[in-house]
């Protein structure tokens, strides 16, 4: 193919359907009889000061799992061995910045490995019992409800 033919290809594309942004959210639970979940306190809007799951936008060309691992490291300084994808969340209005679909991941870690440090968009990090969660940003309460079901299935394997 000639160089001029390559230059005639459009550099942008238009589609008749709206396209959502893709994000990842992570549920990091402790391996305890009464598990705790890792939350970050958001440093920036939307929901600045509110508690949320670690996560963020998927970069172009990045796999979902790579995005989840990157966001977890950036926001909490944690690295985990195993991540299990357990759900997708895309209800309209879940993010005030626009239409987003989030892919949720889950892992369990030993309590002694639960030493997270706030970084990037996180003002603080905290471990909260599943039964005593603060008010959460976005639709993270719904994500945690689904995570509880996934954790029960995981425990019963």
- Distance (Å) of CA 139 to CA 11, 51, 112, 117, 133: 35, 11, 29, 24, 13
Q: Tens-digit pLDDT profile for the chain (157 aa)?
A: 444 445 566 678 788 998 999 999 999 999 999 999 999 999 999 999 999 999 999 999 999 999 999 999 999 999 999 999 999 999 999 999 999 999 999 999 999 988 999 998 899 999 999 999 999 999 999 999 999 999 988 877 6
| CA 78, chain centre distance (Å) | 14
pTM of the model: 0.89
Rounded CA separation 122/113 (Å): 19
How long is the chain?
Answer: 157
The residue among 151, 25, 6, 4 whose CA lies nearest residue 90 is: 25
Domains of the chain from N-terminus onward: 21-155 (3.90.79.10)
């Amino acid at each position: 193919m000639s160089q001029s033919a390559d230059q005639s290809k459009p550099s942008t594309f238009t589609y008749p359907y709206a396209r959502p942004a893709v994000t990842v959210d992570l549920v990091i639970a402790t391996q305890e009889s009464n598990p705790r979940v890792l939350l970050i306190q958001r440093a920036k809007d939307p929901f600045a000061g509110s508690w949320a799951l670690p996560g963020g936008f998927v970069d172009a060309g990045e796999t979902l799992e790579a995005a989840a691992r990157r966001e977890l490291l950036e926001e909490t300084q944690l690295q985990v061995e195993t991540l299990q994808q357990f759900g997708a969340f895309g209800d309209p209005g879940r993010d005030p910045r626009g239409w987003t679909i989030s892919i949720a991941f889950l892992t369990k870690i030993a309590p002694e490995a639960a030493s997270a440090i706030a970084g990037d968009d996180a003002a603080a990090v905290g471990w909260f019992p599943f039964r005593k969660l603060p008010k959460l940003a976005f639709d993270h309460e719904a994500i945690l409800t689904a995570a509880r079901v996934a954790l029960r299935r995981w425990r019963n394997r």
